[in-house]
Structure 1
Amino acid sequence: MIVADSPDPGGARLLAADAGGRIRHLPRQALGLLFRPDDLVIANDAATLPASLQGRHEASGAPVEIRLAAWLSPDDPLRFVAVAFGGGDHRIRTEDRPLPPPLVTGDRLTLGPLTAVVEGLLDHPRLLALRFEGDCEGLFAGLARHGLPIQYAHVPETLALWDVWTVIAAEPFAFEAPSAGFALDWRTIDTWRTLGVRFATLTHAAGISSTGDPLLDRRFPLDERYRIPAATAAAVARTQDTGGRIIAVGTSVVRALEAAAVGIGHISAGPGVARGRIGPDTPLRIVDAIVTGVHQPGESHFELLRAFADDVLLHRLSLMAEAWNYRTHEFGDSMLIER
């Protein structure tokens, strides 16, 4: 059943599909009223790092842009997986960006006040293992002074760091904004509290969404670190015990919760690494519904949605989002899909 209520033309919108397949067009502020007492909403509180670094390849003098994509090791904050481009910036579509100069192990990159050493190529000329010289304090100071948020050509204006922080942003931990969280505001969170809907957070290192190279994009998402507070793990168990639902705000939250699952309705607290893709053949043990952006078929985010709904329903959602001109990308409209 499709309920084609007229979306609010003056603000962000929500395309909501319930477990019975009913689809509704709603203003996004309706999120505050769609959940039941004892439901638990979990969001990613990671602040976004200034993970785009312009600089030069020391051996050739050629310009490079390095986009940090993931930590290479949970135990070493100075080592990263990174995506490299040649000259240019975000105003050029990623698919049109030139390759970086030829890189080999041991090459040094000068990135403003920072120096990074290429530890190796990861089976693709754009994908690198990098190690920054110095210490962790110097790295974060250098990122703050020189780095910019990763962004794409659909937003030509240069974004400030606070433009990619959600209202609940805490520790800098994500490489791109956990953008589903842009649907949250304090009024919605307060409405949930008043109605008895629980709210909790976790921290997940959301990674790069696109490189413009289809072969490379198929590798995403990369392995991504997360941390789950003990209070959040306890809230999940309590919600399952009382018959409530677990609603994840964003694909990063789904990845963290399902990676931390130790049984139906239970997760382990603490740090971990979310590995591999979630897709149509992935049995979800924790999450009952997802609030997410409007994604395109073929994207890794869209593949994750196939764990929540069959292809027929997702196709209907895609057609309706296109017909109603729902905005895609990180600052776009939202979807709610119940499993």
Structure 2
Amino acid sequence: MIAADSPVQRPPLAKLLVVDRFGAMTHAVRSALVEFLRPGDLVVANDAATLPASLQGVHVRSGEPVEVRLAGRRSLAADDVRQFVAVVFGAGDYHARTEDRPPPPVLDPGDRLTLSPLVATVERRLGHARLVGLRFDGTPDAIWAGLARHGRPIQYAHMPVPLALWDVWTPVAGPPVAFESPSAGFALDWHVLEGFRARGVGFATLTHAAGISSTGDPELDRRLPFDEPYHIPAATALAVRLTRARGSRVVAIGTTVVRALEHAALADGRVRAGDGVATQRIGAATRLCVADAILSGTHEPDTSHYELLRAFAADAVLDRVNVALQAGDYRTHEFGDSVFIEREYGRREYFSPQICADERGSESGILF
């Protein structure tokens, strides 16, 4: 696939590959998304705004330059911004491919990083030379101000121009808690939302701290996604329950929405409202309990995002999808084209409370 290299969220000719529950495929323009929805469906989007989570600075003990990419936190609370999980690189920035970035200097507990105007201490190593727990000095207000003034959006070498913060905020962005953009939401705008309303399709949001998509190291990438906090409003939980009760579909806008909904699935079939931390891995063996379809970017095999798509469709179907994406010159990465995949026929056709309880407790990433 072709890497999207321009930060345009909604190009008029953006493509959409639709895969129905029987594996049949349809090519369309993404602006026609509403035509593939049914009256009574509920679309759920992630309303997280993206943090300027990339910080350049210096490892004080060695004097060497570093780039810190914030990658996790334990809650969405506005005053809970002192501690983060972070991926740290040596000298350089997004102009170099992530996999070509040099490692940081050896990071020991107690080491200080100056990330002008912020200062952070390495609290612990997390099983990899690039992955640490950081604690920032200062008050929450000072930390927020430092991020706003010094931070930049995390970006990768396929995008040659520096991203502005507004480039990575979706049209429904609200609380600034995502480490990278929940970019499936780029497909939305007010015209699309009006199309939902006119077609009798419901719309709801949740907030999920979308994590990073790549660390540049295969071993560490296998631990993605890290644990990610989320909040599901009571109105959204109610909308999901009513949608499922009438036999209509819950359509997730992006992998983060799937993670939150599936983690919040209760044993009686409802979705729990309130705060949580998505710790589970979703993949081919997962039996989905809430999400009936997903709108997502075009993801490459062996990524954590692609692994989640395997819960919706068999590998043989996804293999055909990959061929179609290649043949159709679909663009990949966050500003690329989209796929709409309905959960394959026969995959958890009947709700099982015990299955949903078991799935919520499966293998986790990194938790404070």
Inter-partner Cα distance in structure 1 for 2:328 and 2:220: 31
Inter-partner Cα distance in structure 2 for 1:263 and 1:302: 27
Find the counterpart in structure 2 of residue 275 from structure 1. 279
Contact 1:45-1:169 within 8 A present in 2 as well: yes
Find the counterpart in structure 2 of residue 53 from structure 1. 55
Secondary structure at 1:177's aligned position in 2?
A: coil
Contact 1:33-1:192 within 8 A present in 2 as well: no
Contact 1:251-1:290 within 8 A present in 2 as well: yes
Shift of 1:135: 1.6
1:312 corresponds to 2:316: yes
Contact 2:40-2:249 within 8 A present in 1 as well: yes
Of 125, 132, 141, which aligns to 1:128?
132
Sequence identity (%): 61
Find the counterpart in structure 1 of residue 221 from structure 2. 217
Find the counterpart in structure 2 of residue 4 from structure 1. none
- After superposition, give the CA deviation of every residue in 1:259-300 in whole Å (9 maximum; x if it has no partner): 000046410000000013101111110000000000111101
Of 247, 251, 254, which aligns to 2:255?
251
Secondary structure at 1:337's aligned position in 2?
A: strand
Secondary structure at 1:252's aligned position in 2?
A: helix
Inter-partner Cα distance in structure 1 for 2:111 and 2:260: 34
1:38 corresponds to 2:55: no
Find the counterpart in structure 1 of residue 156 from structure 2. 152
**105-114 or 261-270, which deviates more:** 261-270
Inter-partner Cα distance in structure 2 for 1:271 and 1:136: 20
1:226 corresponds to 2:230: yes
Contact 2:75-2:229 within 8 A present in 1 as well: no
Contact 2:74-2:229 within 8 A present in 1 as well: no
Shift of 1:77: 2.7
TM-score normalised over the length of structure 1? 0.96
**94-103 or 245-254, which deviates more:** 94-103
The alignment covers a number of residue pairs equal to: 331
Contact 1:39-1:239 within 8 A present in 2 as well: yes
Which aligned pairs between 1:95-174 and structure 2 lie closer than 5 A?
A: 95-174=99-178
Which aligned pairs between 1:2-13 and structure 2 lie closer than 5 A?
A: 11-13=13-15
Structure 2 spans left out of the alignment, 5+ residues: 1-10, 344-368
Find the counterpart in structure 1 of residue 7 from structure 2. none
Shift of 1:101: 1.0
Structure 1 residue identity aligned to 2:211: G
Find the counterpart in structure 1 of residue 81 from structure 2. 77
Runs of 4+ in 1 over 3 A off after TM superposition: 72-76
Contact 1:73-1:79 within 8 A present in 2 as well: no
Of 276, 283, 304, which aligns to 1:300?
304
Inter-partner Cα distance in structure 1 for 2:76 and 2:109: 22
Contact 2:76-2:209 within 8 A present in 1 as well: no
Structure 1 residue identity aligned to 2:41: D
How large is the RMSD of aligned CA atoms in angstroms? 1.2
Contact 1:175-1:207 within 8 A present in 2 as well: yes
**Higher RCO (C-alpha 8 Å, min separation 6):** 2
Secondary structure at 1:267's aligned position in 2?
A: coil
Contact 1:91-1:153 within 8 A present in 2 as well: yes
Contact 2:16-2:338 within 8 A present in 1 as well: yes
Inter-partner Cα distance in structure 2 for 1:253 and 1:104: 35
- After superposition, give the CA deviation of every residue in 1:239-277 in whole Å (9 maximum; x if it has no partner): 011111000000000000000000464100000000131
Find the counterpart in structure 1 of residue 23 from structure 2. 21
Shift of 1:179: 0.7
Inter-partner Cα distance in structure 1 for 2:268 and 2:38: 20
